[in-house]
Amino acid sequence: MTENLTLLEKAALLTGKTVWETHDLPRHGVRSLWLADGPHGVRKQLGAADHLGIAASQPATCFPTAAGLASAWDPELAEEVGRALGAEAAAQDVDVLLGPGLNIKRSPLGGRNFEYVSEDPLLAGKVAAGLVRGIQSAGVAACPKHYAANSQELRRMASDSVVDERTLREIYLTAFGIVVTEAQPRTIMSAYNLVNGVYAHEDPFLLTQVLREEWGFDGAVISDWGGSNDVVAAAAAGGTLEMPAAGLDSARQLVAAVREGRLAEADLDARAAEVLQLVREAREPGTAAAVDVEAHHALARRVAARTAVLLRNEESVLPLAAGTRVAVIGDFARTPRYQGAGSSAVNPTRLDSVLDVIGESGLEMTAFAAGFQRNGTPDAGLRAEAVAAAQGADVALLFLGLDEIAESEGLDREHLRLHAAQTELLEAVAAVNPNVVVVLSAGGVVEMPWLGATKAVVHGYLAGQAGAGALLDVLTGVANPAGRLAETVPVRLSDTPTAETFPGRQRTAEYREGLYVGYRYYTTADVPVTFPFGFGLSYTTFAYADLTATADSATVTVTNTGAVRGADVVQVYVRRETPGVHRPDRTLAGFARVELEPGESATVTVPLGDAAFRHWDTVTGAWQVEQGTYAVLAGAHVDDLPLSVPVAVTGTMAPATDDPALARYARADVRRVPDADFAALLGRPVPPSSWSGPLGVNDALGRMQTARSPLARLAYRVLAWQRDRADKKGKPDLNILFLLNMPFRAIGKMTNGMVSTEMVDGIVRIVNGRFFSGAGAVVGAFFRNRSANRRTARELRGDA
Ligand code: BGC
């Protein structure tokens, strides 16, 4: 495949040509590929290009974000959404769609949790696999991301995730394994961060051993935008394409490495062949059917209705009958928060607000009041107006949520509260009207100390462009809610297993909690939660009976015991009953969605996946199943599992015992893990986290705060000032956030050849206070780079 290509041509294929395109080789009939975000709608930019969702993109349907879609617990629905995404991508001649995102929600503070599926790897993997199958059925390559252990936004391009292999494999890699083996994505995006000291895009363990050798992936590994560190190391480790445009400096580095024997030409060939394969499999531009925009809007509405989670419904205040007199309160009813900020932001084909569509709902709106300022600024006038509106209405519908700055790419959340302006409004409204129904717009979870003041709560997540109509469908019973939480709602932030450690603020992000992520922690450590993983109410009720199980599957009968048609998600968990190595009390092993008429029963068989009984054995360095008795549990959610049957499992090894140093992990006592215990889990000393000494090319620009050069400290202050000013306005400045978290080397990787690696070294010298030698180096390197770029460009065109 690569026989006729020169070294330089092969090297050029491994680095982007523009923000969104790969290099073409016209002499060989190889065209450029177009890559575009994103995970819940296509973001194709034809004008100004950026990877942060800032400049305009072509209109596309904005579906609910992954956090919402996850609540449907329905891989088939995800596949249907994927087909629509694929069709829109194809219609816009996009070859690679950069999604889905499936990083595990390690902490509810994760700034991009709205883009991710779940805290559980099985659910995350299954939903993402559905999306990938759908996208690729349209002839567009999917790009699951970000592989792997990319759990925080702070210092996202420079942070080193320190995580033991067992946790890495059981929690953070499993979802990717499911996607790769079940849906065969043609590409995968490596994460920005390092994993155990190695950049994800150049990690032979992640990219060659696990991804390619164990899972059989044969596609292209694409770096996150600016995430490539050493292009030569990447090519050797299995990293295919660095994006966006690093310029021809990278191509020259690859050529030199082959010539000097530092990179095997076979590796370069293999990576170039992966790009050529993508080009060969891409569909012919201009051949896709036009998109039926109205049909996709309708699909977005149907999906949003399926993703809403009914969390509370006292006295069956919902569904609201036609003619109910409702006061509509809350800024989110007028200006929906329907997606999150950053690279996933879609320019929707249409956008409905509750005020736009409530006229079609059958409800009688008595008044609308904004109630609060979105950014939390206290406003007694708005509150008084809302309280007055609530008086006399049958029901006060409160549209509350997180504002744009509360959760965003590039920014982790600082707390889990709604603004006081909203919760105080809620209490004030409840004092004059007992029928308060809260509809939440948020890409993640919030603390709910105010729950007692409500009759009902619907969590709508970020419901996409047609979310408003869907939420009204749920409130009125046109759609019977069937969403189930794909993450736990903790009582308070301090209860979460990572409360003390998230986010890692210096060099490392230490995954001290080990396996105890989300419900694995709460159920094992017996920590009460507000709403458990898998929870969600319906306007009907379900009962479970007749559970039988083998090591391969569980069979259970579900009956709709209520008065209306509805859907349930039967959830099956596994607990080991006999002694062995530490493991969470219960883990999700399978699930099935069933739709039932009143009184109807269905017997469903849930396959128990590979992961049900296994654990990663650190002694043999392999997946093992301990011989013993396991309980297979079935029911409505992780804390409501009325049925249980024992299953004797032969396994692959005798029950093992933990290293006594891991005793804390057997108790899930993981909130404050001392170094010695974490070192025992890691099997090596805990690497230093604090930074010292001069700045390096891999330090984030944010570290200029403490740089030797006054110029650099001033540059930091300007950036920080711009960030804070945007924060105050309630709208994140994504550019500034990106820069603060970006390492110096990315200046070279993102400027299309204008800045070479050599120039970056000079810049870092300046930052470290060596102004004259640094500036001299930058200037010299600038001219060398410019003439080298011209030479390489000529050579690539074939007129050298
Ligand atoms: C994000 C990716 C995205 C890429 C391109 C990066 O900043 O992390 O998720 O696909 O930009 O926009």
For atom 3 of ligand 1, the residue with the nearest CA is 343
pLDDT of 213 higher than 70: yes
Which atom of ligand 1 is least distant from the CA of 37? 10
Question: How remote is the CA of residue 223 from the centroid of ligand 1, in Å?
Answer: 9
Which residue has tokens 């939480």? 485
State pLDDT tens for residues 4-51. Answer: 999 999 999 999 999 999 999 999 999 999 999 989 999 999 888 787
Mean pLDDT of 359-380: 97
Helix (H, G, I), strand (E, B) or coil at 176: helix
For atom 9 of ligand 1, the residue with the nearest CA is 343
- Nearest-CA neighbor of 681 among 441, 516, 436, 486? 516
Task: Answer positive or negative: Cα dihedral of 268, 273, 276, 282.
Answer: negative
pLDDT at 730: 78
**CA atoms of 396 and 454, how far apart (whole Å):** 10
pLDDT of 749 higher than 90: no
Q: Are 83 and 91 in contact (CB under 8 A)?
A: no
Q: Are 752 and 737 in contact (CB under 8 A)?
A: no
CATH H superfamily, domain 7-281 = Glycoside hydrolase, family 3, N-terminal domain (3.20.20.300)
State pLDDT tens for residues 325-338. Answer: 999 999 999 999 99
pLDDT at 198: 98
In this prediction the pTM is: 0.97
Question: How remote is the CA of residue 565 from the centroid of ligand 1, in Å?
Answer: 41
DSSP state of 101: B
Give residue 526's region: left, alpha or beta (phi > 0; psi -120 to 50).
Answer: left
pLDDT of 221 higher than 80: yes
CA dist 340 to 54, 268, 336, 394, 422, Å? 12, 38, 11, 33, 20
Domain 300-510 classified CATH 3.40.50.150? no
**CA atoms of 594 and 602, how far apart (whole Å):** 8
State pLDDT tens for residues 172-209. Answer: 999 999 999 999 999 999 999 999 999 999 999 999 99
- What does the block give as tokens for 247? 């310029």
pLDDT of 52 higher than 80: no
Strand partners, 542: 560
Q: What is the DSSP string of 455-494?
A: SEEEE--S--TTHHHHHHHHHHTSS------SS-EES-GG
Question: How remote is the CA of residue 762 from the centroid of ligand 1, in Å?
Answer: 27
DSSP state of 539: S
Question: How remote is the CA of residue 51 from the centroid of ligand 1, in Å?
Answer: 6
Residue 224 annotated in active site: yes
Percent of the chain with pLDDT over 70: 100
Domain 531-657 classified CATH 3.40.50.180? no
Domain ranges of the chain: 7-281, 300-510, 531-657, 701-797
Which atom of ligand 1 is least distant from the CA of 738? 7
pLDDT at 633: 98
Rounded to the nearest integer, the mean pLDDT of the chain is 96
Mean pLDDT of 766-781: 94
Per-residue b/e over 3-42, b at no fewer than 16 CB within 10 Å? eebbbbbbbbbbbbbebbbbbbbeeeebbbbbbbbbbbbb
- What does the block give as tokens for 330? 């809350």
pLDDT of 610 higher than 80: no
Band (pLDDT 50/70/90 cuts) for residue 800 is low
Question: How remote is the CA of residue 118 from the centroid of ligand 1, in Å?
Answer: 19
pLDDT at 56: 83
The C-alpha angle 156, 160, 161, rounded to 5 degrees, equals 95
For atom 8 of ligand 1, the residue with the nearest CA is 224
pLDDT of 392 higher than 80: yes
Which atom of ligand 1 is least distant from the CA of 98? 10
For atom 6 of ligand 1, the residue with the nearest CA is 225
pLDDT of 691 higher than 90: no
Q: Which of 37, 74, 224, 352 is catalytic?
A: 224
Instruction: Report residues whose beta carbon is within 6 angstroms of any ligand 1 atom.
Output: 37, 51, 98, 145, 224-225, 343
State pLDDT tens for residues 133-160. Answer: 999 999 999 999 999 999 999 999 999 9
